[in-house]
């Protein structure tokens, strides 16, 4: 398995897609029920293959990721050739960017001496989607990129 298996909730939400996936494998509903009981390891493999297919589709479309912690924000723009990063670090230990109060403070003080910025870019390895997935595993979430775009316009 290349990525991670989808959660039970994710699989439930993708039920119609999973049925289509099984159909492409020539597995009927009755055969799937039988497979789960008689050959659970094969059923597990099918779930893993389906999960990887879904992840590949999602990751190929991801254009922005954000990883926000108490004192830092890592905002990524994922282009065809590289990953661009805007890193924001709050030097005030009393501020927690993950809270509404902390983020409000940041919006008012983003140009103060208590905030540091860094920009960087990095080429992908041989597997662009795996690079994106690894950022997600480290806590990044898929976004529309509003924060990245705002900072990008302010930095220019």
pLDDT digits (tens, 9 = 90+) for 64-103: 999 999 999 999 999 999 999 999 999 999 999 999 999 9
- Strand 72-78's sheet: what is its strand order? 115-123, 82-90, 72-78, 64-68, 141-142
Is residue 31 domain-resident? yes
pTM passes above 0.85: yes
What's 26's DSSP letter? T
pLDDT in tens, 2-60: 999 999 999 999 999 999 999 998 999 899 999 999 999 999 999 999 999 999 999 99
Regarding whether 75 and 57 lie in a shared domain, the answer is no
Residues 69 and 98 in one domain: yes
Q: Is the separation of the CB atoms in 152 and 145 below 8 Å?
A: no
> Is residue 2 a part of any domain in this protein?
no
Both 117 and 131 in one domain: the answer is yes
């Amino acid at each position: 398995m290349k990525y991670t298996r989808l959660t039970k909730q994710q699989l439930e939400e993708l039920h119609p897609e999973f049925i289509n996936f099984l159909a492409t494998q020539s597995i009927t509903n009755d055969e799937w029920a039988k497979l789960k009981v008689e050959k659970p390891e094969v059923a597990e493999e099918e779930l893993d293959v389906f999960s990887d297919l879904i992840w590949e589709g999602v990751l190929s479309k991801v254009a922005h990721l954000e990883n926000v912690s108490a004192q830092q924000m890592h905002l990524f723009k994922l282009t065809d050739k590289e990953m661009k990063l805007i890193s924001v670090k709050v030097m005030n230990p009393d501020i927690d960017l993950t809270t509404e109060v902390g983020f409000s403070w940041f919006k008012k003080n983003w140009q103060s001496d208590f905030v540091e910025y860094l920009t960087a870019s990095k080429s992908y390895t041989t597997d662009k989607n795996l690079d994106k997935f690894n950022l997600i595993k480290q806590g990044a979430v898929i976004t529309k990129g509003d924060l990245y775009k705002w900072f990008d316009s302010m930095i220019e």
